[in-house]
Structure 1
């Protein structure tokens, strides 16, 4: 069988995490200050696959069923484009 290329066609809602208390409260984000000097990914969010670590600047995506997951900034900016309108 030949290798084929696929493209995502679904749209998502996403927001870049800025480290604010408002976003932490909105997404029930946990902060581990003792990790902040060792690793930039000192925040944690509960996803369907379990807790996911991430940092300021990464994106939080919301799925069609209201579930959340994190997309690293570099991956998000290479993979997604803003839907106008």
Structure 2
């Protein structure tokens, strides 16, 4: 029988804004996109799952054990809600 489940673990997350401060904080590589000729930046973040493209407004999620991953903004807003820090 199919049942519904809710995530119970809490995570820490920060929305990526493209700032140099966040690039340094998370060790994000910044590369220029030359194929379209518009100079738009592509951001790459190293996580425990490997290298991923990170867009402005995506979220960087970190569990207490250091496991980290990226989450697209629309999915994050559908899946997570802010809780009071313990």
Separation in structure 2 between the aligned mates of residue 41 and residue 70 of structure 1, nearest angstrom: 17
Separation in structure 2 between the aligned mates of residue 44 and residue 4 of structure 1, nearest angstrom: 37
Question: Hey, what does 1:73 align to over in structure 2?
Answer: 73
Separation in structure 1 between the aligned mates of residue 54 and residue 19 of structure 2, nearest angstrom: 14
SS in 2 for 1:53: strand
TM-score by length of 1: 0.84
SS in 2 for 1:26: helix
Moved over 6 A (4+): none
Cα RMSD after superposing both structures: 2.2
Seen in structure 2, the aligned counterparts of structure 1 residues 14 and 27 have a Cα distance that, compared at 3 Å, is same
Q: Where does the alignment leave 5 or more consecutive residues of structure 1 unmatched?
A: none
Question: Hey, what does 2:43 align to over in structure 1?
Answer: 43
Q: Where does the alignment leave 5 or more consecutive residues of structure 2 unmatched?
A: none
Question: Hey, what does 1:7 align to over in structure 2?
Answer: 6
Alpha-carbon distance, 1:84 to partner: 2.8
Q: How many residues align?
A: 83
- Whether 1:27 aligns to 2:14 is no
